[in-house]
Chains A and B, each alone.
Chain A
Amino acid sequence: MSFPWAKEYTPQNGLTKFFDEKLPLPRFVYNAVGAGYPVPRNLSYFWNFGVLAGFFLVLQIVTGVVLAMHYASNTQVAFASVEHIMRDVNWGWLMRYTHANGASFFFVVIYIHIFRGLFYASYKPPREMIWLIGVVIFLLMMATAFMGYVLPWGQMSFWGAQVITGLFEAIPLVGPPLKTWLLGGFAPDNAALNRFFSLHFLLPFVIAGAVILHIWALHIPGSSNPTGVEVKGESDTLPFHPYYTAKDGFGLGIALLVFMTFVFFLPNTLGHPDNYIEANPLSTPALIVPEWYFYPFYAILRAFTFDFILPAKLWGVLAMFSAILVWFFLPWLDKGPVRSGHYRPLFRKFFWFGLIPTMAMLFYLGGAPAHEPYVMLSQIFTAYYFLHFLVILPIISSIERPDPLPYSITEAVLGSDKKAVLGENAEPVAT
């Protein structure tokens, strides 16, 4: 679907006409990311992050396929094969540092993308399905990243695998046999390493498939925008190409500058030194933490230290998964008629002074040692996290009085529709 004023693809020569008749792939691309896709004219740089996420997915697949050409998923040689990549393989260090930091930046970009969606309530009708698929993509990313981190078979790899598969042990009755089944043994070993490698290779392509669904679902209502006001007419939109290819291209340039700064100058800053020690099943590192992008959820996991009807371990696991599962219900928990946080004063306050500091603290606490005061702080912020989505958001979205919305996107940008249509010389409209 598209707006009626979307430009139509017209094949220019014999070859493109041939393709258009037999397999209209150029037409598909034209309508998806070309001039045939009308996009709201007022998108800010926060709308770059979808394209950036797509870029990092491709980057991870390309560098990952390269690394898989040199890596050996056997506990005897896995660690050495990673060092082989670093020292012997031509440009192997670049491939590995790009892949390792690419995972981190993929999550940076995705978190900004998600919080863009949260602030502008992009999950609201008619875009619920885009949001739901997005949450699925995030879960797939977490599984992929976790298994990828196991592959170098360092200390953090091994103990990460031990701890994360240990989560499944908390499930009543089937937990312990389930963990053994997942690992193919009683502790992470060759069987686990091999299946993690296999799945780590497979899942990115599943993610790519989900991304196609995500974009498909997006193109039905079209992109949202910072005002949250739906497109009303042609003057509200611009063709994706060249306007947003240029804007996304510029954003990509900036993102790459930051990213390559890490790859070239801070390649191990986001990792853990312990993972340069080969896995030792007999010795756990002093501070065992996941990769930084899992910190908030790790903090929630560790916040449950007391038994309450159910064992503490099970509470922790349930809370950790619920912290993401709650996102699935957002389109129905947020009852407000207005989308954009710019026009929702109460919502905005709780977003900036409630949710954002809470996430920041959970990020910090997930990497902190497991003792006081961090445990108590984790409990407080975990409580607020769930309170925000399950109680505060439904209440404020029901009671708040939104600020007046602009009549249209064009009015929000130019002040009045008349001016936009007639040009600058038009008489200003009295408001």
Chain B
Amino acid sequence: MASTTGNADATPDVNDGVEGEDGVRRRDFINIAAVSAAGVGGLAVLLPLVSQMAPSADVLAESTTELDISALDVGQSIKAVFRKQPIFVRRLTPAEIEAANAVDVSALRDPATLDEITKPGHGDVLVVMGVCTHLGCVPLGAQEGENKGEFGGYFCPCHGSHYDTAARIRKGPAPTNLAVPDYEFTSDTTIVIG
């Protein structure tokens, strides 16, 4: 701090820098360089602080579920778990398939046909997430004796969303059909979700 600029003012002017040949004052250059470095450094610090809250490796490692559906009879449902969330697998009865196909798709809130929801060749196997698309409760209807709602599919007791036999939203506050996870048949009786 041995500033000897000779100002009568005890605190030398902050801006009295030496102007270089290119017209850039040293002090301005240092200022901008320092603030830029600190800004870039701050962003680099922010990345891990934000990223640490995203799913960790062990959570992501849980992201596939294999299901054996050989014991699933017509009209039966099973509940499974995928990413700590329920999965409903139902083998539809011919009557349920017929009911699903009889609906005027264009009149639905979230238009989709049963064929679009199921996999080719397995049109009777309905695989959906058991998570109501309204606010995430688990709908009823996957177990024997539960309320299946007015359309014979699933019924969410939290806020009264009714899903039909193709798990499409028909009545109530839910905005979309029950979500269909990524899955594939690895054999006629085995599906891998995720």
Contacts and interface: CB of A to CB of B under 8 A. Distances in A.
Interface of A: 41-43, 62, 66, 69-70, 84, 87-92, 94-95, 233-239, 242-243, 249, 413-414, 419-425
Nearest to B11: A238
Contacts of A90: 48, 51-52, 54, 56-57
A339 B2 CA distance: 23
B74 to A, nearest CB: 42
Contact of B48 (A87, A95, A233, A235): A95
B10 interface: yes
B49 A84 contact: no
Contacts of B1: 41-43, 238, 243, 413
B187 interface: no
Contact of A89 (B6, B7, B34, B56): B56
A92 B6 contact: no
Interface in B21-52: 34, 38, 47-49, 51-52
Interface residues of B, number: 23
Given A414-B4, A424-B4, A69 B52 contact: yes
Dominant secondary structure of chain A at its interface with chain B: helix
B10 A235 contact: yes
Q: Closest 3 A-B residue pairs measured CB to CB?
A: A423-B6, A91-B48, A235-B10
A203 B160 CA distance: 47
B35 to A, nearest CB: 10
A69 B56 CA distance: 12
Contacts of B107: none
A425 B6 contact: yes
A55 B34 CA distance: 18
A84 B56 contact: yes
18 contacts: A43-B1, A62-B49, A88-B59, A90-B48, A90-B52, A95-B48, A233-B10, A234-B10, A234-B11, A239-B11, A243-B1, A413-B1, A419-B4, A423-B4, A423-B6, A423-B7, A423-B8, A424-B4
B53 interface: yes
Given A42-B1, A66-B49, A90-B48, A420 B56 contact: no
Nearest to B10: A235
Contacts of B182: none
B116 interface: no
Contact of B8 (A91, A243, A421): A421
Nearest to A84: B58
A91 B10 contact: no
Given A90-B52, A90-B54, A237-B10, 13 more contacts: A42-B1, A43-B1, A69-B52, A84-B58, A238-B1, A249-B34, A249-B38, A413-B2, A414-B2, A419-B4, A423-B5, A423-B7, A423-B8
